[in-house]
């Protein structure tokens, strides 16, 4: 992607996240996004097929940032930035707590099913890659079941945390999550 394309893409994502801070996902129109981003309709559709794909890309950007920071790869430009902690899960909780790119509005909105669906898809990849953290020895049951269980538990942990005003610190909610899946 050349610099001009990257700037247009970032403008669209920025406009979208700003709008998420103002209204519900279902109330946002493509027209509002392109107007705020100051790009043409064709430019929007050159980057994103639909508004739903834009939402999916926002979620993918978050996880791509998380994965790159864990692997030490920083060559890819992300809409998310931070000083990544050692724990991949604390890192993810930090972005959620700081409401980076209006992600908390997506978590707390009445119509968050689509975001949570994309969020869980990305979590499945995360837990597939981090499986040995939770199960250092070969489990006695199907790995895909356990990966799904980890992702579902994380989604429910985040959902509970956001519904309760995110009053627990990032470290505390991480402990809750670890306890829920490992019992320790």
pLDDT higher than 70, residue 79: no
* Two tokens, residue 126: 């995360």
pLDDT level of residue 85 (50, 70, 90 thresholds): very low
- Supply the pLDDT for residue 112: 66
pLDDT higher than 90, residue 44: yes
pLDDT digits (tens, 9 = 90+) for 140-154: 999 999 999 999 998
Residue 38's φ and ψ, nearest 5 degrees, are 60, 50
More reliable by pLDDT, 125 or 72: 125
Is residue 81 a contact partner of residue 157, using CB atoms and an 8 Å limit? no
Exposure string for 45-68, b = 16+ CB within 10 A, e = fewer: eebbeebeebbbbbbebbbbbbbb
Cα–Cα dist 100/21, whole Å: 11
- Average pLDDT of the chain is 80
pTM for the predicted model, two decimal places: 0.69
More reliable by pLDDT, 155 or 29: 29
More reliable by pLDDT, 62 or 39: 39
pLDDT digits (tens, 9 = 90+) for 12-30: 988 988 887 788 788 889 9
pLDDT higher than 60, residue 72: no
Cα–Cα dist 78/22, whole Å: 23
Is residue 20 a contact partner of residue 106, using CB atoms and an 8 Å limit? yes
* Two tokens, residue 132: 């040995």
Full DSSP string of 99-132: TGGGHHHHHHSTT-HHHHHHHHHHHHHHHHHTHH
153: exposed, middle or buried (Cβ count in 10 Å: 0-12, 13-18, 19+): middle
């Amino acid at each position: 992607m050349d610099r001009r394309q990257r700037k247009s893409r970032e403008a669209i994502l920025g406009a979208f996240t700003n709008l998420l801070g103002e209204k519900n996902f279902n109330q946002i129109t493509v027209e509002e996004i392109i107007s705020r981003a100051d790009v043409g309709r064709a430019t929007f559709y050159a980057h994103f097929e639909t508004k739903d794909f834009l939402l999916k890309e926002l979620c993918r950007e978050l996880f791509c940032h998380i994965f790159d920071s864990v692997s030490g790869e920083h060559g890819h430009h992300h809409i998310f930035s931070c000083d990544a902690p050692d724990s991949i899960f604390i890192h993810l909780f930090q972005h959620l707590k700081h409401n980076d790119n209006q992600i908390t509005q997506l978590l707390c909105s009445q119509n968050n099913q689509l975001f949570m669906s994309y969020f869980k898809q990305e979590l499945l990849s995360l837990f597939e890659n981090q499986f040995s953290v939770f199960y250092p020895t070969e489990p006695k049951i199907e790995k895909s079941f356990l990966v799904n269980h980890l992702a579902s538990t994380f989604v429910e942990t985040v959902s509970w945390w956001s519904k309760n005003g995110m009053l627990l610190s990032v470290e505390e909610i991480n402990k809750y999550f670890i306890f829920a899946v490992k019992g320790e």
